[in-house]
Amino acid sequence: MSEDMGVIVRTNARVLVPFIGIFGAYVVMHGHLTPGGGFQGGATIAGAGILFLVAFGIKAAKEKINKNLYSALEGVGGLIFLGAAMLGLSVAFFYNTLWHNGPLFNGKPGTLLSAGFLPIMNLGVGLKVFTGLVSAVFMLSLFRRWKE
């Protein structure tokens, strides 16, 4: 029995994975404007990664996915979240100082470069959720205990 799921599934996955990734990136980037956010968009991008893993098999995924890098990036996402929360520490934890008197991300409400630390936090949480879910499923398929 081969590792991947056959030519039909592989071709469909090759078409669908970039679109799912682009949609997830859109949800993460517009998290402060439209419904969605870091968690939801990160889970969507992780769905693209898991589709790649399921359709192409563990051997092809091992060449593309570096599990140590993904595990490290999850911590980096959490640190970005914490660092963005500490930006306004002179007033309070989780105070949006970039929005009130910051140099960047303080455009009009409703534009992409507005809302202070919310886009930064969305990117951090999206990175964290994406790498965390992908590394969890990758570990599940990499270290399986049953025989072929």
Residues in touch with another protein (CB under 8 A): 31-37, 71, 74-75, 78, 81-82, 85, 93-94, 96, 99, 106, 109-110, 114-118, 121-122, 125, 128-129, 132-133, 135-136, 139-140, 143
When the beta carbons of 12 and 34 are compared against another protein, the nearer one is 34
- CA 77 vs. chain centroid, Å, equals 9
When the beta carbons of 10 and 30 are compared against another protein, the nearer one is 30
Give the separation between CA 138 and CA 131, rounded to whole angstroms. Answer: 10
Q: Which residue has the tokens 């910051």?
A: 102
To another protein, the closest distance from the beta carbon of 6 in angstroms equals 27
To another protein, the closest distance from the beta carbon of 148 in angstroms equals 13
Give the separation between CA 133 and CA 141, rounded to whole angstroms. Answer: 13
Neighbours of 5 (CB within 10 A): 14
To another protein, the closest distance from the beta carbon of 17 in angstroms equals 22
When the beta carbons of 103 and 110 are compared against another protein, the nearer one is 110
When the beta carbons of 19 and 93 are compared against another protein, the nearer one is 93
Give the separation between CA 139 and CA 100, rounded to whole angstroms. Answer: 43
Cβ neighbours of residue 20 closer than 8 Å, sequence gap 6 or more: 44, 45, 47, 48, 51
To another protein, the closest distance from the beta carbon of 116 in angstroms equals 5
Contact 104, 98 (CB under 8 A): yes
To another protein, the closest distance from the beta carbon of 66 in angstroms equals 14
